[in-house]
Structure 1
Amino acid sequence: MVETMTATRLHYIYDPLCGWCYAVAPLVKAAREVASIELHGGGMMTGARRQQITPAWREYVAPHDRQITQATGQQFGQAYLNGLLTDHTAWLDSEPPTAAVLAAEQVQEAGLDMLARLYEAHYVEGLRIADAGVLSDLAGELGLDRGPFLEALQSFRGEAVNAHFAESRDLLSAVGARGYPTFVIEREGHLERLDHTPFLGRPEAWQSALKSLKLRPPAPSQLEVGCGPNGCAI
């Protein structure tokens, strides 16, 4: 049984195509054991911000990926590095995978499981996580009934997921955050942004800090590592 923090909720503002969100995946996993987590997808790459894989894109993300591995130990698979990042027919689109998280949560309260699987599928296995077929396969791997999942996935596409993105960005703005990933603790209706950066690569320490609530907000001048609302650099 999960031992949760009393009268608290942890809000996690993320994007499925944010490399620094992949970097904090171990922190999210650790937090699940001590906190009730609510997910908020930011829609970093949607609409006109969708990104086609190009040589320039590969050059752009390479230093970020190396920094993530150095800071956290999170590994990027060869299928991603020398597969997906060389596939110039592939597009990066945050809407379908975010809708998949919402659908998994609706069907079986498995949003966190889907998000974790999406990061592994993209950054390790080099899969196109914007493709409905890939999302259906991932749902099957998680034990979700594909029929209800695909129905829910379709219902969250378009207007519904865009409304979710707007709410997530409102929350991001309300706590004065600059991008993804952002963790916000809610205690008796009060929202406070947390500084997760000292815990990068230290999930056990992060879990202990959450459990004891011995955390601090980021300093106003602190330069954060992460992805901005509209791209993978701040």
Structure 2
Amino acid sequence: MAIVHYFYDPLCGWCYAAKPLVDVLSTIPGLEIRLHGGGLWAEPTHLPPPKRDMIRAADGRIAELSGQTFGSAYLDGLLPDEKTVFHSRPTIAAVLAAQSLDPTRALTMLGAIQHAHYVDGRRVVEDAVLTSLAAEIGFREDAFTEAFRAIPVDAHIDETRGLMARLGLGGFPSLILEHEGNLYALPHQQFYGRPREFLDALKRLPAFAE
């Protein structure tokens, strides 16, 4: 039918805002959602206080627009803690590992990481936490660990970055519809907090009306 290419990062607040919209996409019969993890935090990063304050302000805006929950364990614990590390690589590797074991649960793994980070304030850059999350959504820990260690995550991130450059995409999240050999940017920012309206707008597009 069609493919939606979703350019994301598990530690991107605006991707968390877009989660209900992506969840709606996953309800469309025959639609493939292809995930492209982009590596927002390329290296393990400790944030200085001004950067943490800026993220807190952005998170407040995200919550206001999207209705997404930011828990006190994140806002008052994880985010202000100077020991907290932001690093996209392990979180993207976890999504890819889940996808390699069961393609239908890649988005579930992404959602589990987002909830653990933004609501529960868990340190999702740690391998043990990611393995625990995988087990919580039904994967065997040994199978997940083996897949997690084998995933060529750096090549995936490089490929995503190259594709974003070719498509002229400036950041995350980005949604690109591929239909009959053509690519179209799916506008989504105006639908934060309104997934039903987003779905209604999609149904008016030729790719979803057929």
| TM-score higher than 0.5 | yes
Aligned 1:62-101 pairs, distance under 5 A: 62-101=56-95
Report the CA distance between 1:214 and its aligned residue.
6.5
Residues 175, 193 of structure 1: 8 Å contact kept = no
- In the TM superposition, what whole-angstrom CA distance separates every residue of 1:161-190 from its partner, at most 9, and x where no partner exists? 111111111221232211000000001222
2-structure distance, mates of 1:143, 1:56: 39
Q: Point out where structure 2 has 5 or more consecutive residues left out of the alignment.
A: none
Q: For the residues of structure 2 that align with 1:196 and 1:207, how far apart are their CA atoms?
A: 10
Structure 1: runs of 5 or more not aligned: 1-6, 216-234
Partners of 1:175 and 1:191 within 8 A in 2: no
- TM-aligned CA deviation for residue 209 of structure 1: 2.1
Q: 1:26 aligns with which of 20, 34, 37?
A: 20
2:193 to 201, 223, 226: 201
**CA displacement, residues 54-93 of structure 1 (integer Å, 9 cap, x when unaligned):** 4223212011111101111112100000010122222110
> How far apart, CA to CA, are the structure 2 residues paired with 1:212 and 1:117?
31
Distance 1:187 1:148 in 2: 35
In terms of fraction of residues, the more helix-rich structure is 2
Contact 1:175 1:192 in 2 (8 A): no
Q: What is the percent sequence identity of the aligned residues?
A: 42
Query: Structure 1 counterpart of 2:107, which letter?
Result: L
Return the alpha-carbon distance in structure 2 between the equivalents of residues 24 and 42 of structure 1: 16
**Cα deviation digits, residues 119-177 of structure 1 (max 9, x gap):** 11101111111101100110011001111111110112xxx211111111122123221
| TM-score of the aligned structures, taking structure 2 as reference length | 0.92
Two-structure CA RMSD over aligned residues (Å): 1.4
Structure 2 Cα separation of the partners of residues 174 and 55 of structure 1: 35
User: Structure 2 CA distance, aligned partners of 1:173 and 1:86?
Assistant: 33
TM-score by length of 1: 0.83
Note if contact 1:54-1:86 (Cα within 8 Å) is conserved in structure 2.
no
Counterpart code for 1:37 = I
